[in-house]
Amino acid sequence: MKTLVAVAALALLSAHASACPLSKSLAEHYGITFSGFATAIPAAAAPDTAHGGPFVRVVIPDEPYVADGFRHTAVMDTRTKKVWILRTGGFVGVYEWYGPVDAIDASLDNCQLEPTINPTANAPRQAARS
């Protein structure tokens, strides 16, 4: 039993130690959770990543047991260390951009990067009105 507890504790500590500094610092500083932001972040247009450029995309971890919560993704310009945050999901299904804000800890050590795509290409489109 002691061995099982030790292994579980080691696994938890390892997972915490290998967390992505960028997403962890943003989540802690702005209070980013499945329910939104604890600290207000201004709404914004999506960053212009169409030209490629020095952008990285990192998912901010969320609560896996909340099916209708928000999901957040950070898109950082690695040159300026500015970050835009994409909020998706929620009860009514939103697609909203916030930022830019300064990266609190811009380190990408242990971060699982996602492909950077043109954010406006995947944005939901509103139906045309007659």
**Cis peptide bond N-terminal to 100, omega within 30:** yes
Q: Produce one character per residue of 60-93: b if its CB has 16 or more CB atoms within 10 Å, e if not.
A: bbbeeeeeebbbbbbbbbeeeebbbbbbebbeee
Residue where the block lists tokens 């943003």: 26
List pLDDT tens digits, range 4-34. Answer: 444 444 444 334 446 899 999 999 999 999 9
List pLDDT tens digits, range 69-97. Answer: 899 999 999 999 999 999 998 888 899 99
